[in-house]
Amino acid sequence: MADTVLYEVSDGLATITLNRPEAMNALNIATKVALREAAESAAGDTAVRAILLTAAGDRAFCVGQDLKEHIGLLASDRETGSGQTMSTVKEHYNPIVRALAGAAKPVVAAVNGVAAGAGFGFALTADYRVVADTASFNTSFAGVALTADSGISWTLPRVIGPSRAADLLLFPRSISAQDALELGIANRVVPAAELRAEAEKVARTLASGPTVAYAAIKEAVAYGLTHSLEETLEKEDELQTRAGQSEDHAIAVQAFVNKEKPKYVGR
Ligand SMILES: CC(C)(COP(=O)(O)OP(=O)(O)OC[C@H]1O[C@@H](n2cnc3c(N)ncnc32)[C@H](O)[C@@H]1OP(=O)(O)O)[C@@H](O)C(=O)NCCC(=O)NCCSC(=O)/C=C1/CC=CC=CO1
3-state secondary structure the chain: CCCCEEEEEECCEEEEEECCHHHCCCECHHHHHHHHHHHHHHHHCCCCCEEEEEECCCCEEECCECHHHHHHHHHHHHHHCCCCHHHHHHHHHHHHHHHHHHCCCCEEEEECCEEECHHHHHHHHCCEEEEECCCEEECCHHHHCCCCCCCHHHHHHHHHCHHHHHHHHHCCCCEEHHHHHHHCCCCEEECHHHHHHHHHHHHHHHHCCCHHHHHHHHHHHHHHCCCCHHHHHHHHHHHHHHHHCCHHHHHHHHHHHCCCCCCCCCC
> How confident is the model over 85-114, as a mean pLDDT?
97
Quote the ligand 1 centre to 77 CA distance (angstroms): 21
> How confident is the model over 212-236, as a mean pLDDT?
97
- pLDDT at residue number 82: 85
Quote the ligand 1 centre to 67 CA distance (angstroms): 7
Q: Counting Cβ atoms within 10 Å, is residue 22 exposed (0-12), middle (13-18) or buried (19+)? A: exposed
> How confident is the model over 57-86, as a mean pLDDT?
94
- pLDDT at residue number 10: 97
Least confident of 74-83, 117-126, 196-205, 255-264: 74-83
Quote the ligand 1 centre to 128 CA distance (angstroms): 24
Mutation test residue for ligand 1: of 65, 137, 152, 173, the one with most atoms within 8 Å of CB:
65
Residue nearest to atom 36 of ligand 1 (CA): 63
Summarised one tens digit per residue, pLDDT across range 139-172 is 999 999 999 999 999 999 999 999 999 999 999 9
> How confident is the model over 209-236, as a mean pLDDT?
97
> How confident is the model over 3-20, as a mean pLDDT?
98
> How confident is the model over 53-77, as a mean pLDDT?
97
Mutation test residue for ligand 1: of 18, 24, 31, 152, the one with most atoms within 8 Å of CB:
24
Q: How confident is the model at residue 136 (pLDDT cuts 50, 70, 90)?
A: very high
Ligand 1 atom index nearest CA of 93? 53
Quote the ligand 1 centre to 60 CA distance (angstroms): 10
Q: Is 114 in the pocket of ligand 1 (CB under 6 A)?
A: yes
- Indicate if the pLDDT at residue 2 is higher than 80: no
- Indicate if the pLDDT at residue 189 is higher than 70: yes
Summarised one tens digit per residue, pLDDT across range 26-51 is 999 999 999 999 999 999 999 999 99
pTM for the full predicted model: 0.97
